[in-house]
Structures are given as structure tokens and as C-alpha cells.
């Protein structure tokens, strides 16, 4: 099931999952011809992408917030998309309480802004991540 999409230029960047929350992937799709989109590349079943919730692309990086339901942890993952045919996971922040069950993500300048809702605690959090 597709969770989030971000379009920049001729590419659509998509994160999705299989419904279990444990098998997720990231795809780059060439949408220059909207009648014939072409999947250019994928990253499949990376633990940093489990249950991906939100994606934002800025420059040569895709930023993804997720919550891994099987491991009970959250991640903020950065993927280098400068070569659309060969995206690479370059870093990840694990288990940050302010990322738990992330709901949205936005990047501006050198900062990522992440909101979440911790259903167990019944509270929302807001995190600012320095991408510098």
C-alpha cells in the first residue's frame, strides 16, 4: 500500500508497505510521460524503511520518516537520490522518542521538521532535525 509520494521534476518518489508493516520499499518512478510511468529503481525490505509514513525530497536527498511496528522503533532515514537508477541509504536516526509514530515530514534548508502522535501516551511531539 502506497503511503506517501513526492514529485520533483520528472520523478515521483514513493514509499509503501505490504500491510504487515515489516516489508516496505522505496521507488523512484519516471513520470515524464504521465501515460507511461516507468519504475527506475527500488530499495526493497530495508529495515530503515519499515512502515514508512512520509517522504520529502530536497536536492539530491530523499528524507523518510517511519515507524517499524515489528521492532517497535522509529527511524528518520536519508537516501541519496542523485543517481535515480541507484539510490543509496546513507544515514538513519533510530529510536528517537520525538519520531515515534511519525505522521508528517517537511524539509526546509538544513532542517527537517517531523510531527508524530504517540497513541500509547496520547500525546503529540514535534522534532527538528539538523541535517547540516
Domain ranges of the chain: 2-130
Provide, rounded to the nearest whole percent, the portion of the chain with pLDDT above 70.
80
Q: Of residues 45 and 115, which shows the higher confidence score?
A: 115
Q: Are 121 and 88 in contact (CB under 8 A)?
A: no
CA distances from 18 to 36, 90, 104 (A): 24, 23, 20
Q: Are 74 and 94 in contact (CB under 8 A)?
A: yes
pTM of the predicted structure, to 2 decimals? 0.84
pLDDT tens digits for range 98-120:
667 777 889 999 999 988 877 77
Task: Summarize the confidence of residues 43-64 as an average pLDDT.
Answer: 83
In the prediction, which pLDDT does 32 show?
A: 98
Pairing type for strands 2-8 and 11-17 reads antiparallel
Which fold does the domain 2-130 belong to in CATH? Answer: Methylamine Dehydrogenase; Chain H (2.130.10)
**102-116 in b/e burial notation, b at 16+ Cβ within 10 A?**
beebebeeeebebbb
The CA angle 27-31-34, to the nearest 5 degrees, is 135
Dihedral pair phi/psi, residue 49, rounded to 5°:
-110, 0
Q: Is the dihedral of CA 32, 112, 104, 1 positive or negative?
A: positive
pLDDT score of 21 more than 60: no
Q: Of residues 79 and 19, which shows the higher confidence score?
A: 79
Amino acid at each position: 500500500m502506497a503511503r506517501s509520494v513526492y514529485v520533483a521534476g520528472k520523478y515521483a518518489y514513493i514509499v509503501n508497505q505490504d500491510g504487515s508493516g515489516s516489508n516496505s520499499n522505496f521507488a523512484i518512478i519516471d513520470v515524464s510521460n504521465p501515460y507511461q510511468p516507468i519504475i527506475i529503481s527500488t530499495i526493497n525490505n530495508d529495515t530503515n524503511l519499515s512502515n514508512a509514513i512520509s517522504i520529502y525530497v530536497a536536492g539530491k536527498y530523499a528524507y523518510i520518516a517511519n515507524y517499524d511496528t515489528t521492532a517497535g522503533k522509529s527511524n528518520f532515514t536519508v537516501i541519496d537520490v542523485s543517481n535515480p537508477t541507484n539510490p543509496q541509504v546513507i544515514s538513519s536516526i533510530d529510536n528517537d522518542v520525538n519520531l515515534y509514530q511519525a505522521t508528517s515530514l517537511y524539509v526546509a534548508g538544513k532542517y527537517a521538521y517531523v510531527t508524530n502522535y504517540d497513541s500509547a501516551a496520547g500525546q503529540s511531539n514535534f522534532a527538528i532535525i539538523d541535517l547540516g
